[in-house]
Structure 1
Amino acid sequence: MHATNTADVATTSTEEGSSSHAGSSGAIDAAEFARQTSAILASITAVIDGKDDAVRSALVCLLAEGHLLVEDVPGVGKTMLARALAASIDATVRRIQFTPDLLPGDVTGVSVYNPVAQEFEFKPGAVFAHIVIADEINRSSPKTQSALLEAMEEHQVTVDGHSRPLPDPFLVVATQNPLEMEGTYALPEAQRDRFMMRISMGYPDAAAETLMLRQRDTANPLDAIRPVLAATDVRALITWARAVHVAPALEEYAVALSQATRSDPNLHLGASPRATLQLVRAAKVQAALDGRDYVIPDDLIALLPEVFAHRLIAARGLHRAGARPIEAALEGIVRRIPVPVGLPR
């Protein structure tokens, strides 16, 4: 039997909210939305230099109430991105180091018998936080990975027949190494489908890497981050983005894109209805960040690879060295499906 402490579950608490936080849990306007989202982006980019697209994707995922999967080789800043996002939000944060001996109970929690009270008491697991960093998620077995399924979809955990709600807002930021790396497990299809977006960090350019050497030689840049928003402010941002208008023709366009993946001969598994819903939700946030209260076709097209690609499986015979069958299939679908024009705003 493995002891719980071998799971290397680390807990980090952010600082208390200050009275200087602008906004509240009530309604905000466009100017306040822009100010607060700009503050989050600036806070993260102070640590993650030269990766503006990855930083923006992380914010889109947070405000669309999705979950983020960051996939890349070790050492390119996957965990740093997750930590910077967490540190920028004044909310509870917990990090789970996924290892081969991690147990599902370490994630969700367990019921422990109290001999004094003569009853079982629930001990919450690391998933009970606003932001959960699932570090190297694919180094644990599929059984342990599946412990996150209910939490990610329903924002609750059921243990011993009792369902317990998770904090609101709730976001899982998972990092994983490519499957060809030693000691990794493939994420089950159901687990991949719970992630709204998958992004890659990529290597930094020479200037950014040189700057990193100078800045991190004597100090950790994460130590300088202070929360720029309270959890209630995040909820207000989510509410604002959710109200962005999507024309019926664009809803039909999103459905057409999704259905095309299910009949494409180059794809064995197409996008789920959940993928369609999350594509539209992410597009709303994209539009809001661009200062619009309506979605345009370019929002959907730009997000398609990040929202759909990790959910799809290429047809047999297309997994060749150097081939990009899934990306190529998505590009072909975008070319085939007519883009709506003359949309009302």
Structure 2
Amino acid sequence: MHSSQQPPQPSVHRVVVLALDGVYPFELGIANRVFGEARHLYEVVTCTVDGLPVRTGADFSVTPDHGPEALESADTVVVPPYDHSLLSDRLTPAMAAAMARIRPGTRLVSICTGAFLFGAAGLLDGRTATTHWVLADTFRRLFPHVTLDPDVLFIDDGDILTSAGAVSGVDLCLHLVRKDHGSELANHIARRCVIPPWRDGGQAQYIEQPMPEPGATGTAATREWALERLDRPLTLADLAAHAEMSPRTFARRFTEEAGTSPGRWVIQQRVHQARRLLETTDLSVERIAHEVGFGGAISLRQHLHSVIGVSPLAYRRAFQATSDV
């Protein structure tokens, strides 16, 4: 008689969400929403730095069931974002005491401004991290010893992982499930949440591209003029002639006002327009390339991938696809 052996069951991974004062409610629930779809593999609990309720970024407060002692048994700690006005390069005494409870080797995960807590704790010095692109300058000013990449959705730096704003926290949590237990489970959870299992590219595809205001001074009028002619050649000489400046003066003024060179700006606007057409029309990639001033589909693919990290078809699928329920 032969005895059958049952395969060993994976141990439950304890995820502790640290809710800080000013926490954003949507992001507070991301870890539980994603990891909670695999309760046989993950246990998710939420705590505060002192065991007391915290106010949220909305018009209500929350009262997690756990205090900072929950951090002592965490396998992964997730820090959701908290109010911008509370961001600092120093920890409060309560924050410092709570962080000291985390065991060495615990996986640390931040969503959006949660990276500021890790930065203030000195955990990101010498590392690469990300946060919401709107706060890139603030982050660099507060944490000059951290290499910030504001273009990506998340960064996996081994035991510390950081993500950009809001839904990129979902991307990162799915990445962790995929890393821990494979793509099949991550894809299953994504379908249950009715979200893409993987979003190509980075924050660059979501960064707002403000348009110049009509009648503005400086190079704004030329930028507006150029936006109406993206399908035509637009050289530095063309732009400078419209602005009635020398190319050298125009390039300097343009960079001061737009934050980038004229040539790079034109490419960005062509990519921005191509994205709009990919999202809202069924035009072929070749036709869109000509509509926005790229010579052909190959050029469009190269520029789109360079700016936002995806191909035209992948971008169109991401923004036009329907999800399984």
Q: TM-score, normalised by structure 1?
A: 0.27
Say which structure, 1 or 2, has more relative contact order (CA 8 Å, 6+ apart): 1
Bigger proportion of residues as strand:
1
